[in-house]
Amino acid sequence: MSLNKSLSPSSSNTIWLKNPLAILASNAQGGLVIQGQTIVELVPQGQQPNSVYNEVMECSDLVILPGLINGHHHFYQTLTRALPKALNKPLFGWLTSLYPVWAGLEPDMLYQATRLALAELLLSGCTTAADHHYLFPEALTDAMDIQAEAAASIGIRMTMTRGSMSLGVDDGGLPPQSTVQQEDTILADSERVIKRYHDAREGSMLQVALAPCSPFSVTPELMRNSATLAAQHKVMLHTHLAETIDEENFCLQRFGLRTVDYLDSVGWLGPQTWLAHGIHFNSDEIQRLGAAGTGICHCPTSNMMLASGMAPVLELEAAGCPVGLGVDGSASNDGSNMIQEVRQALYLQRLKYGAHVSHFDAYRWATEGSAKMLGRSDIGSLEVGKQADIAFFKLSEMRFSGSHDPLAALLLCGAHKAEHVMVAGQWRVKYGVIEGLDVGPLLLHHGAAARALVAKFYNPKAVF
């Protein structure tokens, strides 16, 4: 059967992904059998499937990975990449430079930013993405609805976090007042978004979590009330924590508590929570987080760009924390490429722990670790019964010439784009092109939105 025909999407097909060059799965060198949206069989090397199949895709030149899972992002930030105003600054200075720009966000700007970020992720082999959107200026109160629509148009799984900021600069916080909301408004909309969009079923394409932004932008009362609401509706909690020493000092000065003590004081220390960054923990705090089963999302590129530090990933894992990976926002990473983020995680953690940190560790963080961190058991690995979320890579570029271990080569030689990507058994990327997406108009509209957003800051009286 021709490759073109075998890449035609069909929910009724049973397809054998035959004899991959390499595969990140145990005892599956002969490939996988996919039926509908799930994996139904792993085929050992040299064997035929036991399942009845009606399509075959020859994969002898393809490296097969579980779909990569991005555990932390800020899609709107694709509009402010490499902005001169924010360059060469640590987190707090970077944020105070960008908050006034982001305050001008409008609905179409967020829609274009979300679509572009998701498209970029998908092309890099990412099949599930969590976005932390916490900016709700007056012109953008329906941000979650915009993001849900954009995700459906791209065909990627998303954990959509209803973020929030309530502690503005007038009350001792970091963000400007124009970007914060009243707590009653936040909680009411959080409940609305959960009821409208959260799908807890296996194979869900869209889930919701509640995500007050950070200790320096929300009150303890909002943290506690968000935890109560999340427990009522059985959804996850997410926030930034222990990203910088400045954040730790803020917590000590304002609350008299270190960051983990603060997290515990507001009822967040538990398996219902995953934290972005998690860099500045002491050994006792690492043990407490692990005992609680709290997840940590490592964001290596962002941490390097802002000079925030290195997350103690191996200690966190050893203590019992689910550890995943995230690209973080595209104004602190300036990219949304998940396979490149896996490479960065490998090298940064080698710098911290030594050369024994392997490519398999980095793959684990980006797949199984991220899935567990997000509270999902139906994705993150190539196993029977799991969702057919799969990334396929070719080693045909010059960068791979002379490589010998295909799985290692993807990271060591710097893979940056998937050849094909399957989400829930449906082809979303074929031959490096997203199905149904015309990239030209997307780039045109996204670029115009980015220019308009920055122009609003420099000329607030302009009409767009």
Counting the structural domains of the chain, the total is 2
Q: Output the pLDDT for position 131.
A: 98
**362 and 234 in a common domain:** yes
Q: Output the pLDDT for position 12.
A: 67
Q: Output the pLDDT for position 29.
A: 98
**23 and 104 in a common domain:** no
Domain CATH for 193: 3.20.20.140
**29 and 127 in a common domain:** no
Beta bridge pairs of residue 128: 69, 157
Residue 345 makes CB contacts below 8 A (sequence gap 6+) with 298, 300, 313, 325, 362, 365, 366
Q: Output the pLDDT for position 458.
A: 81
Q: Output the pLDDT for position 460.
A: 57
**234 and 325 in a common domain:** yes
Residue 443 domain-assigned (yes or no): no
- For 92, 248, 270, 288, 299, the CA distances from 258, given in Å and listed in that order, are 18, 6, 17, 13, 21
Element (H, E) at 236: strand 236-241
CB-hemisphere CA count at 13 Å for 150?
Answer: 27
Tens-digit pLDDT string for the chain (464 aa) = 234 334 444 456 899 999 999 999 999 999 999 999 999 999 999 999 999 999 999 999 999 999 999 999 999 999 999 999 999 999 999 999 999 999 999 999 999 999 999 999 999 999 999 999 999 999 999 999 999 999 999 999 999 999 999 999 998 888 989 899 999 999 999 999 999 999 999 999 999 999 999 999 999 999 999 999 999 999 999 999 999 999 999 999 999 999 999 999 999 999 999 999 999 999 999 999 999 999 999 999 999 999 999 999 999 999 999 999 999 999 899 999 999 999 999 999 999 999 999 999 999 999 999 999 999 999 999 999 999 999 999 999 999 999 999 999 999 999 999 999 999 999 999 999 999 999 999 999 999 999 999 999 887 554 43
**143 and 208 in a common domain:** yes
**175 and 150 in a common domain:** yes
Q: Which structural domain, as residue segments, surrounds residue 362?
A: 68-373
